[in-house]
Structure 1
Amino acid sequence: MDLQDQLKNLFPDHEPSEVPTEKEDTTLWMQDEPMICKYEKRKGKPITIIEGYTGADSDFKQLAKEIKQLLSVGGSFKNEQIIIQGDYRDKIMKFLQDKGFKTKRVGG
């Protein structure tokens, strides 16, 4: 006997309503201009900077989280830029292109 049958036995007069399906909306805003992926050194340490996203900040923060989890590295989101620790331009650009973004490599 499953849970639905047990509930019917406990509440025979109850009419079940439609169960709302929770669908997570993970669509991101796609822009016309390519996202810029550049390499810098700050305090002698290499970093990768991604900028040029024209959508909502919350979407860009979610994208930053996905990139950090993909690469298993640290990073941050500041001043409409994603800053990733290390030189991962190629991997990040491939990830963004798989998501449907246009990318442009800058610096070296």
Structure 2
Amino acid sequence: MEKKKKDFASITGLPEELGIDADLEKVGQTLSIRKDTRRYGKPMTVVSGFEADRSELKELASELKRRLACGGTVVDNEIELQGNHVERARDILDELGYRVA
């Protein structure tokens, strides 16, 4: 099941060459971050609320893992990061242009 990408150029009337589609798509999403507990009481940070396709989500997960120096994965349109990184992940996502609730 593939989601159709939004065509912001047709909505805003601005040329596609400006490359604002990605920025507008980020701002249109509201992400949530929560701390979860896994087996043996290990903390896990879960970021959800994405409308991006799986390849973009994997790239973002890779960036978060690199900057937070932790492991993680993408499961069901959510990014799972090993450890409690709620505040740091919020700061990084804000820096990257995402809106975090």
- TM-score, structure 1 length as denominator? 0.67
Partner of 2:82: 85
1:49 aligns with 2:53: no
Does structure 2 conserve the Cα–Cα contact (< 8 Å) formed by 1:36 and 1:103? Answer: yes
Deviation of the 1:33 alpha carbon: 3.6
The CA deviation string for residues 43-84 of structure 1, in whole angstroms up to 9 with x for no partner, is 111000001011221111100000000011111111111000
Unaligned runs of 5+ in 2: 1-21
Deviating 4+ runs (over 2 angstroms):
none
Distance in structure 2 (CA, Å) of the matches to 1:33 and 1:66: 18
2:31 is the counterpart of 1:35? yes
TM-score, normalization by structure 2: 0.71
Q: Which has the larger radius of gyration?
A: 1
Name the Cα RMSD after superposition. 1.4
Gaps of 5+ in 1: 1-26
Instruction: State the SS of the aligned residue for 1:49.
Output: strand
Distance 2:69 2:79 in 1: 15
